[in-house]
Amino acid sequence: MRVIVAVTGASGALYAQRLLHILAQHEKVAEIAFVMSEQGRMLFAHELGVNLSHHNPDLAALGIDPAKVRPFHPKDLTAPPASGSARYDGMVIVPCSTHTLAKVAGGFADDLIGRAAQVMLKERRKLVLVTRETPLSLITLRNMVTVTEAGAVIVDANPGFYTLPRTVQDLVDFVVQRVCDQLGLEVSLLPRWELPQKDDLWRRA
């Protein structure tokens, strides 16, 4: 599998870091095309304290094996992700800013992230947008409907608590596991939901 991972300026660098780490280790993933918007690059610096270049990002500083990762500049519209003939299997924008969501909904392809997203939609391939914004304006909600109708999947960065998370990592893993589910990749970062026995429910109450 060949996957595009794009990072934009919404808060949530931990989601991108963890997803890249998991994809880089997964046996079914052969290549990761990695693109950061300028705001995404600033996000890594602000939230994780790591300054990454567009052309040669030091992913090892984030604990990510770079062997499968091909970085691309966000302004390079000649890069493989800009063409459907490159046949990437899916794309994840994580985190996905409302600005990027609006561009995807409007069909704008003025940078590599926007163009790659449009390619995924026109080729009927998996496009996952990990939005992270609250509260949501009516405009944003309508943009979510538009991209969903076009074939994208919104995976809101909204972790569940039925797994009884104990750490921030657990909360991040909940979202990342759902993203991997959408890509068709089997991962076991957290226990899957099983209906508790009544005695267990009473004990928790």
* Binding-site entries for dimethylallyl phosphate: 162, 178
Residue with tokens 């780490």: 21
Contact 54, 111 (CB under 8 A): no
Give the length of the chain. 205
Summarize the annotated binding site as residue ranges. 9-11, 37, 97-100, 132, 162, 178
Could you tell me which residues are beta bridge partners of residue 6?
Answer: 35, 93
Cβ contacts of 181 within 8 Å, gap of 6 or more: none
Residue 115, token pair as written in the block: 């163009």
Integer CA distances (angstroms), 20 to 3, 16, 38, 94, in order: 10, 6, 18, 10
Per the annotation, binding residues for FMN are: 9-11, 37, 97-100, 132
